[in-house]
Each structure stands twice: as C-alpha cells, then as structure tokens.
C-alpha cells in the first residue's frame, strides 16, 4: 500500500496509495481530518483542517469546493473529464514478473506520478510487509525527495513535478492449477470529504513466462482500456471514487 499526501488509502497485499490524499493501492487506513501536530513524523498537512480554513487555495492547489463527489462509489469516465483548474493526477505503474514472482509473490515495481497538486510536503506510504528496496528513481521540479523505511517524502511539489520510485512489491497470489491473481487498490484521489478524478495506468510485463491474460476487473469497457500483448498487458482508466483492480493470469502446468 502506499498513500500520497493527497490521496490516502490502501488495502491488500501490494496496494499503493498517494497523497492530498491520494490513495493508490495498499494497506492504508484513512485517518479523520483534524488539527495535527506538525512535529509528528506522520503529520500530513493535507489532513490538517486548520491549514485550510482561512485562505482560499492558490493556483494549482486543491479546492474542496471543486470535488466531483463525496461518495467512494466508482465512476469511470468514458471520456476524459472536462478541463479543470486542478491537475489530473496520473499514477503510472509498471510491474515486472519473473519465475520467482510466481513462487514468492514479489514483483519489480516502477511507479511514476505526474499532474500533482501544489503542496509543500507529500508522503507516499506503503504497506511495509509487502514492500522492500524502496528508493526514489527520479524527482523533477521538486525541492527534495527521499525514501525512508516504508515511505517516500517529497518537499516542494508543484503542478510540473514528476516523481518515480522503484521497489519490489509482493502482489502475486497463486490460486493453484496454474492460476495467478494480482490485486491492487483502492486507488483514489481524495481530499477531506471529496473525491477527484485521477488516471491510473497499470502495465504488467512477464517476459517469456508463457502466461495468458484471462480477465480483469474492471473489465474492458468505455473508459477502461485493456490491451494484452505477447509478453504482458496494460490497463488504463480515468475515474473518481475508489478503484480496485484485479488481474487474473494462467499458464499450463
């Protein structure tokens, strides 16, 4: 799991989340919004109501009044949402499987974030038992970014910031008889009580493992592009609310 201080949430073996409260999968519990102690290592300015009461948001920041919905119910956009003042966050995940992945569940992860809202400090928090080797691969247009334990901390985020992290994530579950399932989520972009549109791209590569894509959830439909190719697959969707994904693979044994 991991959350970004713009979205938050996560459950499941390899979920990930991102922050303003940006939840992108993983085992992340949403805390109630309240005044907090800035000296607390888990302090999240996006969850501190006291920071938002007196002044309207500046350019690129998230305005609670712009929330599309207060419901976690998933709404998939058949067409991209109309242009908004708030950037559309893109959460791009690339998972690489090898033979060991089918035995122990661990895959290589490269995860990139763009279209972030302007914020002074952002944390992406992962489900510690299911993440290892976490590091910042690149960080553009930010003041600073580093990995520590189960999280990545980013300072000085702007609309033009881009961040990529790399790690190993335990996300593959063997169901027996050559069937394997990868589950992630919930993904979300949440601020206070509002859910905002975001885009998630999930690319899965399995090289020469001779795997076959059986089905996905959500399934292919207007607004959910699912493409299989010889050595992998891609799922791409724009939505608001909470998204959970499931990919089912098989191979002859």
Q: What is the pLDDT of residues 74-117, one digit of tens each?
A: 999 998 777 666 668 899 999 999 999 999 999 999 999 999 88
Q: Name the stretches of the chain with pLDDT < 50.
A: 1-39, 41-65, 67
Cβ pair 16, 10 in contact under 8 A: yes
How many alpha carbons fall within 13 Å on the CB side of residue 155? 5
CATH of 79-122+131-250, one of 1.10.3470, 2.60.40, 3.40.50, 1.10.1660: 2.60.40
**What integer pLDDT is reported at residue 38 of this predicted model?**
43
Determine the pLDDT at residue 79.
Answer: 87
Q: What pLDDT sits at residue 181?
A: 97
pLDDT in the model for residue 30: 25
pLDDT for the residue 18: 34
Domain limits of the chain? 79-122+131-250
pTM of this prediction?
Answer: 0.74
Burial of residue 177 (number of CB atoms within 10 Å: 0-12, 13-18, 19+) = exposed
234: Cα within 13 Å, side-chain hemisphere:
8
């Amino acid at each position: 799991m991991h959350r970004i201080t713009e979205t938050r949430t996560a459950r499941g073996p390899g979920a990930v989340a991102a922050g303003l409260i940006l939840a992108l999968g993983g085992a992340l519990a949403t805390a109630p919004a309240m005044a907090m102690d800035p000296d607390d290592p888990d302090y999240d300015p996006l969850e501190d109501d006291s920071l938002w009461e007196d002044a309207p948001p500046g350019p690129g920041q998230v305005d609670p009044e712009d929330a599309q919905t207060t419901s976690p119910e998933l709404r998939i956009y058949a067409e991209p949402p109309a242009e908004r003042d708030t950037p559309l966050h893109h959460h791009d995940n690339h998972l690489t499987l090898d033979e060991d992945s089918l035995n122990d569940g661990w895959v290589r992860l490269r995860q990139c974030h763009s279209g972030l809202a302007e914020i002074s400090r952002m944390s992406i928090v992962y489900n510690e038992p299911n993440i290892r080797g976490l590091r910042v691969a690149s960080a553009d247009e930010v003041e600073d970014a580093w990995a520590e334990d189960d999280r990545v901390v980013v300072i000085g985020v702007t609309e033009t910031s881009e961040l990529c992290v790399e790690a190993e994530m335990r996300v593959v579950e063997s169901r027996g008889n050559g069937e394997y399932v990868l589950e992630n989520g919930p993904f979300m972009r949440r601020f206070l009580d509002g859910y905002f549109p975001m885009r998630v791209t999930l690319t899965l590569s399995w090289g020469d493992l001779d795997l076959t894509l059986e089905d996905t959830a959500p399934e292919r439909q207007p607004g959910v592009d699912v493409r299989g190719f010889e050595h992998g697959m891609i799922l791409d969707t724009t939505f608001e609310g909470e998204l959970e994904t499931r990919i089912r693979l098989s191979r002859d044994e």
